[in-house]
Structure 1
Amino acid sequence: MDLQLKGKKVLVTGGSRGIGKAIAASFLKEGADVGIVARTKYELEEVSKELDVRIYTNDLTNVYQREQLITDFINDFNGIDILINNAGASYGKTVSETSPILFHKTMNLNFIAAVHLSQLVSQHMITQGEGVIINISSIYGKEAGGVPAYNASKAALNSFTKSFSSEVIKYNIRVVGIAPGAIFHPNKEWTRRIKNDPDFLDNYAKSNIPAGRLGKPEEVGNIAVFLASNKAAWIVGSTISVDGGQSRMNY
């Protein structure tokens, strides 16, 4: 299927690993021009050896570096068509064990950064008459489970997706979201769990996921390119669960 994304200018935050890297690769396969941003220069340089992307080293928790990122990207690519707000992290444990500072730290990266970047790129998208913003959320932004600070930030992101979509669709800008379930990629948390229990992945999947396995990053990438295309033109404000049946919601 030709998704007609060739030449589209795409910025992926948190693009140096996992879901973000897979999303970048999916857009490249469709012929898009892609830039990725992360804080770790070494990881970005490693990705750039593998994928034909332009890299940006910015701290997205810093308001001025967010502004500089969008300025640099638009100057480098002569515009922006698609923003993927994927950067995120999880801090703290239970509510009682998580300080307000860690709640704030989580919200700043997972929610405030996405809101601000969306505001910045929407100004350019309004001028050009179209654009797509995709917010990478989580099934735990829709239901209980996981770490409370992370869940709260993703719930806020889902709400923002709906609110902002209603505001900018009149300018032909679509704002949509993806809520992944458990997606395996070798990050520190998955590595720690496997080290403690070599059978952890199989046991977790059998207990929690009707499909019987964890998701793959490229399976999120496949949904991202579809949502960014005109094939998904009538999807506005929705956050789509991509979870192998893991979530317990009726929608």
Structure 2
Amino acid sequence: MELGLKGKVAIVTGGSRGIGLACAKALAAEGCELLLAARGEEGLQRAAADLVAVGAKVATLAIDVTEPSAGAAIVEAALKAFGRLDVVIANAGGVVGARSFAEADDAAWLGTFQLNVGHSVALLRAAVPYLEKSEQGSAVFIASISGRNPMTAGAPYAAAKAGLIHAARSLAWELGPKHIRVNALSPGSILFEGGGWARRKAEMPDVMAAFETAEFPWGRLGSPEEIANVAVFLASPRSTWINAADIPVDGGQRKPSL
């Protein structure tokens, strides 16, 4: 099914690996032009080379998305490269500092909130005038099932992702008159090279095997491509009547963490 994204311009943060890179590849397959933003220049150049090799038009920006001016800078880079903007996928996220309540200080809480919620909101704020011109502008915030279900550890991350989900739903209402859709997508545990779940599988294979058997109907973790398939659909005009939603893409996973 053709998704109606050919010739559209999309921003993907955290676009150099994992879910972000998978989203970029799926968007490119639909004919999108891409601005990838991430911290590491080397990773961005590898990702861009892979995409250019299959005919995609790609620009990159190495930037710390938590910087106050990052949202505006990312949008400006996309406009400079392609002259328009239609889609924003705010994928960069994670944990800053300690994960547990006992160890996380104020800086960890605030840093984790800024990385997950702050960067997404700032990026969308800068993008709104151009998404409105698109007439089918769409923003997808990559959240987590940790924002939907309690975690045994990791309160700062879970709280930030819960905030991101509610921000997406609230912003969809606020931006509805401009015909800009905003949705959250909540992945479960996703396996990719260099990611946390890959590290855990290498360090404690027996524990991970038991976790996958107990918590997933199919007995395995998800892949970045399985998240990207849904993210790109949400970004496309084919999903026009999906708005202010939080879509879990978790393979039926029960617990969000070990």
User: Shorter chain as normaliser: what TM range?
Assistant: over 0.9
Amino acid in structure 2 at the alignment position of 1:203: A
Q: Please show how residues 51-130 of structure 1 align to structure 2 within 5 Å.
A: 51-52=51-52, 53-91=58-96, 92-130=98-136
Identity %: 34
Q: Decide whether the 8 Å contact of 2:63 with 2:70 is kept in 1.
A: yes
User: Quick one: distance in 1 between partners of 2:229 and 2:173?
Assistant: 25
Aligned to 2:184: 177
Q: Please show how residues 8-27 of structure 1 align to structure 2 within 5 Å.
A: 8-27=8-27
* Cα offset, 1:236, TM superposition: 0.7
* Cα offset, 1:54, TM superposition: 1.6
User: Quick one: distance in 1 between partners of 2:224 and 2:195?
Assistant: 16
Q: Deviations over 1:72-114 (max 9, x none)?
A: 2112110110000000112313212110111111011111110
Amino acid in structure 1 at the alignment position of 2:250: D
Alignment CA distance shift 1:231-1:247 (3 Å): farther
Q: Decide whether the 8 Å contact of 1:139 with 1:247 is kept in 2.
A: no
* Cα offset, 1:200, TM superposition: 4.2
Aligned to 2:200: 193
**SS of alignment partner, residue 84 of structure 1:** strand
2:195 equivalent to 1:216: no
User: Quick one: distance in 2 between partners of 1:199 and 1:9?
Assistant: 44
User: Quick one: distance in 1 between partners of 2:224 and 2:204?
Assistant: 22
Aligned to 1:6: 6
* Cα offset, 1:133, TM superposition: 0.3
Q: Decide whether the 8 Å contact of 1:209 with 1:246 is kept in 2.
A: yes
Amino acid in structure 2 at the alignment position of 1:126: E
**SS of alignment partner, residue 251 of structure 2:** coil
* Cα offset, 1:191, TM superposition: 3.9
* Cα offset, 1:39, TM superposition: 0.6
Aligned to 2:213: 206
Instruction: Tell me the matched-pair count.
Output: 249
**CA-atom RMSD, angstroms?**
1.6
Aligned to 1:36: 36
User: Quick one: distance in 2 between partners of 1:210 and 1:188?
Assistant: 22
Amino acid in structure 1 at the alignment position of 2:64: D
Deviates more, 1:68-77 or 1:27-36: 68-77
Amino acid in structure 2 at the alignment position of 1:63: P
Aligned to 2:55: none
* Cα offset, 1:196, TM superposition: 2.2
Aligned to 2:248: 241
Aligned to 1:226: 233
Amino acid in structure 1 at the alignment position of 2:188: G
**SS of alignment partner, residue 63 of structure 1:** coil
Q: Deviations over 1:117-155 (max 9, x none)?
A: 111101222244330000000001111015111111100
Amino acid in structure 2 at the alignment position of 1:229: S
User: Quick one: distance in 2 between partners of 1:43 and 1:129?
Assistant: 33
* Cα offset, 1:211, TM superposition: 2.4
Q: Decide whether the 8 Å contact of 1:58 with 1:66 is kept in 2.
A: no
Aligned to 1:139: 145
User: Quick one: distance in 2 between partners of 1:229 and 1:247?
Assistant: 29
* Cα offset, 1:186, TM superposition: 1.8
Alignment CA distance shift 1:22-1:188 (3 Å): closer
Amino acid in structure 2 at the alignment position of 1:56: L
User: Quick one: distance in 2 between partners of 1:73 and 1:100?
Assistant: 34
Q: Decide whether the 8 Å contact of 1:59 with 1:66 is kept in 2.
A: no
Q: Decide whether the 8 Å contact of 1:25 with 1:51 is kept in 2.
A: yes
